[in-house]
Amino acid sequence: MSEFVENIDKPDEVEKVPEVTKKAIAFSDSEQESGVFNDYIARFVEISTNAQHNEQAEKQMSLREGIRTFPKAAFWSFVLSSAIIMEGYDTTLLSNLYSLQVFAKKYGKYYPDLDEYQVPTKWQTSLSMAVYCGEIIGLYIAGLLAEKWGYRKTLLPFMAATIGLIFIPFFSVDVEMLLVGELLCGIVWGAFQTLTVSYASEVCPVVLRLYLTTYVNACWVIGQLIASCVLKGTMNITTHWAYRIPFAVQWIWPVPIIIGIYMAPESPWWLVKKGDSMAAKKSIMRLLSPSPEMPDVEPLAEAMLNKMQLTIKEEAATVSNVSYFDCFKGKNFRRTRIASIVWVIQNITGSALMGYSTYFYEQAGLATSMSFTFSIILYALGLLGTLASWGFSQRFGRFDIFFGGLAINTCVLLVVGGLGFSSSNGASWAVGSLLLVFAFVYDASVGPIAYCAVAEIPSTSVRAKTVALARNMYNLSSIPVYIITPRMLNPTAWNWGAKSALFWAGISIVSMIYVWFEFPETKGRTYAELDILFSKGVSARKFKTTEVETFNPEEMLKKMNNNDIMDVVEKDKTADLNNDA
């Protein structure tokens, strides 16, 4: 066999074939003589080299260049992520409605000792559990459907369903009907949680990945902020409209978001997984825009497609016919474990106090009006915190921000818990102020970085399912969190008040230990690099410094069998023919 082969794209040129190519060409004597498979090898080497160059260019891309080249990707990601605003709005709405006497009178009962109405602790817990149980169901269903239908076609029916489901809590005549409404709404919110994060992580380059995935956290905070403002505006209404208006506000955003989802391109990664390279390249072209740095985006689209094809083909060698069980097999188990526990940590280190902020402030001694004002300030600071995390990410890695924020907030919780032993007016104001500090730090670190890490850590082949499992772990952890939090704060139950912060501080300390040993640094790493680091079992603290090489043509040829090589080349040719047409 000659050590040179003809280049199928440039028949007048020949390329030197690596030694490993000679070993790979054992197809059949007749085909070797005709040079057919040699042509496939030459094209495969070109595809691998193209992917390797794109990998290097993507890692070196500046933020400015990324924004100029991928503005459409950012826009579509923002549109889909906006669905999370609805969940952030409702979860905050429900937990803070308990502070409204007209709501408590409708769904609770009168306590003579307190001379006021309160929603019983068991119903506060049940309503919160209904939401999370619904989300667990929705996450599981969405994970299955997304694998089959894609992100857009899965999101559309869920979003449309919200329009009808909102009628149930709006017209609920008793707490039982309200519970059913929250359960059903929770199912659709569960779908939003997994699909928006996965989509954001798959349509952008490395340089924009943190911004688009953490924007999901910003949407959550925006929803919380809107809910607090609406409640502040209706708190003085003495009729049922005090809580019906907040429920009705949820009808504002489904229709524009549905239109946006319908018009958005599908994730090219999902299309490549389904073997539709033609549609994948179309999708990539819709995500790109010519820029001064790159006036012609066609070569970039081709290189991105090549990289996706090779990454998914490599993963398919170890995982095929993907199911939820594959998330727990081999190296995927470590990735699933990290994603799940990181999301759980986001939930069990004091964030519940923000969810019950108005109620918490009241039990800490502040007036209802001032409690709502503090809640608005809290969520405004949370939004600023998420934006601040974007600035921090320019200088620090994912681990640095997450671990540092966790450490600072542990100290804040210890101080808040200590102040809980004082009943003075000054202590109440100090608790309120420190909770604002907690919110800013949390939403500048633990809150947004968890979304980024959960999207980056899973392998491409099982990303949607891993994110669904991780979020379900979050929701499962919410069950005990929202069982004990109302009891901690409710004056008819444990009545811990601000002292409850000590409990969360203890859990935060344990979480810091886990994060140190398990949370890897993923900043600046492409998905192909992360695959290699996890496959080699590199320890978390060495992720940052370990050198890896991706898409080396000789290494790729060693990993691929003849059928894989032919499949990659044929699909790439199909995409090229469609583009020429």
* Per-residue model confidence as pLDDT tens digits over 254-273: 999 999 999 999 999 999 99
| 4 pLDDT above the threshold of 50 | no
| 145 pLDDT above the threshold of 50 | yes
Name which residue leads in pLDDT, 30 or 537: 537
Domain span at residue 139 reads: 70-264+318-519
What's the mean pLDDT in 79-84? 92
CATH classification at residue 444: 1.20.1250.20
What does the pLDDT look like over 311-337, one tens digit per residue?
888 877 666 667 889 999 888 999 999
Domain assignment present for residue 276? The answer is: no
Name which residue leads in pLDDT, 24 or 436: 436
Q: Which of the residue ranges 77-86, 254-263, 412-421, 557-566 would you say has the lowest mean pLDDT?
A: 557-566
Residue corresponding to tokens 């999101």? 155
Cα–Cα dist 206/283, whole Å:
18
pTM of the model: 0.84
HSE-CB at 537 with a 13 A cutoff on CA atoms is 1
Residues 6+ apart with CB under 8 A from 470: 336, 339, 340, 342, 343, 454
Q: Which of the residue ranges 189-198, 339-348, 526-535 would you say has the lowest mean pLDDT?
A: 189-198
Cα–Cα dist 325/31, whole Å:
40
Tell me the pLDDT band of 343, cut-offs 50, 70 and 90: very high
What does the pLDDT look like over 209-224, one tens digit per residue?
999 999 998 998 899 8
Domain assignment present for residue 389? The answer is: yes
Percentage of the chain exceeding pLDDT 90: 48
Total domains present in the chain? 1
428-432: long-range contacts (C-beta < 8 A, 24 or more apart)? 428/364, 428/365, 428/366, 429/366, 431/364, 431/498, 432/361, 432/364, 432/366, 432/374
- Bridge-based pairing of strands 4-6 and 116-118 is unpaired
Domain assignment present for residue 397? The answer is: yes
Domain assignment present for residue 221? The answer is: yes
Cα end-to-end distance, the chain, whole Å: 36
Which pLDDT belongs to residue 6? 46
Domain assignment present for residue 193? The answer is: yes
Q: Which of the residue ranges 18-32, 355-369, 437-451, 522-536 would you say has the lowest mean pLDDT?
A: 18-32
Domain assignment present for residue 292? The answer is: no
What does the pLDDT look like over 467-505, one tens digit per residue?
999 999 998 998 888 788 878 877 777 888 889 999 999
Domain assignment present for residue 9? The answer is: no
Domain assignment present for residue 257? The answer is: yes
